[in-house]
Structure 1
Amino acid sequence: MADLLRLLLRVAEKAANVARLCRQEAPLFQLLVQEKTGDDKNKKFVQDFKTLADVVIQEMIRHDVGAQFPEMAAFIHGEESNKFENGLGESVVVTVCGGEEETAALLASVLDDDRTAAALLARAIHQDPATVDAHLDDVTVPLSPSELAIWIDPIDATSQYIEGREEVLEEGRLSPSGLHCALVLIGVYLRSTGEAVMGVVNQPFNRKDPAGAGWRGKHFWGVSRGGVNICSESRPKDSPGAALSAVLSSGERQAVKEALAALCGPPDRLMYASGAGFKLLCVIQGLADVYVLSEGSTFKWDSCAPHALLRALGGGVADLANCLQAGPGGHPAELTYHRPRAESKGAERWANSGGLVAYRDLSRLRSVVGALKGKV
């Protein structure tokens, strides 16, 4: 399974290259935005955008993984529909073809025959990135591809990606918004149980090259299965007696904000940030102890990849509603990824409907559940 992890790191970097290209080419970017409608619309936002970059990245990952691991091809799922409407009102099914020229021709039909833009995208799709060094030579994981399935979020925090604000990241500090919140998320789970077992998180816009060569990215990965727990991030050192730190969405319920403010103590320990994937990454990096969301506005593709990393670090992502029902002393009900909600339609079938708590330390999870019990 080290081969699968290497492949996921490589295709995530290819995805990051596509995301960066689409931001660099302003005329191309203006063509890419298309509003989601109907059952695929995320009801939390007034405007929720699907971009061609999303679709291209998703289908590229599906193509590359399916080519190397054909037994997984039918079990690679993504956030986006691969149908895209061009300026003439024609519906085009976006796929990755066998060669660069064929893919460029298909993309040109989406891009109103803009062959220059289509060729740029096709080149990024078919060009392998530089080797991603993850020191995986000694990684052995007791898994078979026939046991696994994948969730892809091609560009999480699309609104931040589209807005494109460039914030400078400070080491050890949470920066709440900007391009760095946009992430490529690839999560692997067991088909039988829905357990998150492997994840790759790529941050395409981590820092700008001081020499003016554009944006540089950063990748994170983790594996957790059968006693094997390996992560690219080291577990942050806990400070005994330190107040809890939490990251939330700015639109979180007031009752949750107040309960956690009392638990966190100093005002700077309760923080806000954009993007579900980015808030999960903040917990992975130790910039916050927990991420709490009381609403069902995240989806399996948002949480699967970061969940695997948190499990590898000794934490997890729990269903908040189930935890509150069980109480602070109960066993955390970890999110699973294999079963849709039968009573829902469209994207809502895959919502994390009970909300969530992401954590690195079980004691922090229990503190949060105790503080929120009877208030949510």
Structure 2
Amino acid sequence: MAALLKAVVSASEKAADIARLCRDAEPLFRLLVAEKTGADRNRRFSHDFKTLADVLIQEVIRHDLGAQFPELRGHIGGEESNEFTNAHGDTVAVRVCDTVGVTAELLGSVLHPDVEAAELLAAAAHRDVTLGDAALDGVGVSIPPGDVAVWIDPIDSTNEYIVGREDGGAEDGIAPSGLCSALVLIGVYERSSGRPVLGVINEPFHRRHPHTRRWQGRYHWGIAYQDVHLSSVSPPPPPLPPPRVVLSRAEAPGVRDALVQICGGRLRFAAGAGYKMLCVILGHADAYVLSGGSTFAWDSCAPHAILRALGGGVVALGDALKARRAGDAGTPLPQLTYNRPAEGAVGAERWANRGGLVAYVHPQQLEAVLEALAAAPGL
């Protein structure tokens, strides 16, 4: 597990480098910001580039983990398909090739005629990452890579990444929007049980260097395997009532109304499912509530593993409310799992977290949230 953890962290750092490069390198930034202005052709091309950036990051992670752990090949899933159709209608399978030059040639077939952009991305995909984190060397948990699988979200909160606002006006540590919510998420789960056992969240846009003004990132990790619970994050202190809950601004009015009754003025709103779960992990919020099925396995697997390492988790909201209303107080609340697609669904919906979720660290705050929602009419 120590080797796997370091490999996942390294992959997340390379992914974060690529995400920053697409905003810092002028040839790439021109493609990225074209979505906001310009003629139809520019908008279409920038949308293609946005998808390419996501796909390339995902394929870099898949390549690097598969190269170090062949047992994982075929068991690394993600949000994006690696097939990309360029502006000429040609379909290209994006992948990391044996050399920088061949990768640049492949990417050039997508980005033609922008050769410089293709070369920048290819160089980033092949760049070695050196970790200077002694804490990673001290992790001694052992788990066979052949027993686990991986979910990747290459850039969570992509819209915030594209818009690129730098100051979201954080309140109590929670920014309602902005680049800070664009995260790289890599989660590892047991193939047999579907339980998340290792997660890494990388923040590529944590802060700007005060002198160079270049973006600096940071990462967080957690392991919850058998009796071992380790994390780079210190467990938040016991919460004080009322609970602090973070939501999406698109959340249903009935959910908002129910939670206002117990939260009062401590209800907060933010973009990005991964970012809202990170707010819970870091102790800025006590819970993240989502009533709909708009998140997926790749959104929640990595944060869920870290929350488990801290003593919390992510419960399936719909199933938890059914159990509470049925009076099954002694039954363990249903946690999300990641190994089985939803029956009857197709495409990405096969991996949707149907029925919503609640992410938490402290069980008593989870109980307060579920009690309020169970009593609300129409939920």
Q: State TM-score, norm by structure 2.
A: 0.91
Aligned counterparts of 2:169 and 2:81: Cα–Cα separation in 1: 33
Question: CA contact under 8 A between 2:274 and 2:300: conserved in structure 1?
Answer: yes
Residues 318-374 of structure 1 deviation map (CA, whole Å, 9 limit, x = unaligned): 000010011183421000000001211111000001100000011111111111115
Once the 2 structures are TM-superposed, how far is the Cα of residue 228 of structure 1 from its aligned partner?
0.5
Aligned match of 2:359: 358
Q: How does 1:1-376 map to 2 (within 5 A)?
A: 1-31=1-31, 51-133=51-133, 135-167=135-167, 173-240=173-240, 242-265=241-264, 267=265, 269-327=266-324, 329=329, 330-375=331-376, 376=379
CA distance in 1, matches of 2:33, 2:280: 30
Q: Note the C-alpha offset of 1:25.
A: 3.2
User: Is 2:168–2:177's contact at 8 Å kept on the other side of the alignment?
Assistant: no
5+ long unaligned stretches in structure 2 = 36-46
> Is 2:314–2:335's contact at 8 Å kept on the other side of the alignment?
yes
- The structural deviation recorded for 1:175 is 1.2
- Quick one: distance in 1 between partners of 2:159 and 2:243? 29
SS at match of 2:98: coil
Q: Secondary structure at the match of 1:217?
A: strand
Q: Which amino acid aligns with 2:250?
A: G
| 1:100 positional shift | 0.7
2:168/2:176 contact within 8 Å kept: no
Per-residue deviation, residues 28-57 of structure 1 (Å, max 9, x unmatched) = 24546999xxxxxxxxxxx99952111001
CA distance in 2, matches of 1:33, 1:142: 44
Matches of 2:165 and 2:11, distance apart in 1 = 25
Cα distance in structure 2, aligned partners of 1:197 and 1:314: 13
Q: Give the match's secondary structure for 1:57.
A: helix
Structure 1 residue 171 displacement after superposition: 9.4
Deviates more, 1:343-352 or 1:136-145: 136-145
Distance change in 2, residues 1:30/1:123 (3 Å): same
What is the alpha-carbon distance in structure 1 between the residues aligned to residue 25 and residue 48 of structure 2?
21
Q: 1:314 to 1:358 in 2, by over 3 A?
A: same
Provide the rounded CA distance (Å) in 2 between the counterparts of 1:232 and 1:109: 41
The DSSP-based 3-state class of the residue aligned with 1:135 is helix
- Spell out, residue by residue over 1:123-178, the C-alpha distance to the aligned partner (whole angstroms, 9 max, x if none): 11111133241512331224110100000000000000000001167695211110
Aligned residue for 1:89, secondary structure, equals coil
SS, match of residue 337 in structure 2: coil
Question: Alpha-carbon deviations, 1:179-213, whole Å to 9, x = none?
Answer: 00000000000000100000000000000011124
Q: Distance in 2 between matches of 1:32 and 1:82?
A: 19
Instruction: Give the 4+ runs in structure 1 shifted more than 4 A.
Output: 32-35, 47-50, 168-172
- What TM-score comes out, normalization by structure 1 length? 0.92
Quickly say closer, same or farther: Cα 1:123–1:179, change in 2 above 3 A.
same
Query: How far, CA to CA, are the matches of 1:137 and 1:371 in structure 2?
Result: 43
Please list the CA deviations of residues 244-299 of structure 1 after superposition, one character each: whole Å capped at 9, or x if unmatched: 0000000101110011010112x1x1000000000000000000000000000000
Aligned residue identity for 2:246: V
Distance 1:135 1:171, change over 3 A: farther
Q: Distance in 1 between matches of 2:34 and 2:354?
A: 26
Shift of the 75–29 alpha-carbon distance from structure 1 to 2, 3 Å rule, reads: same
Change (3 A) 1:360 1:168: same
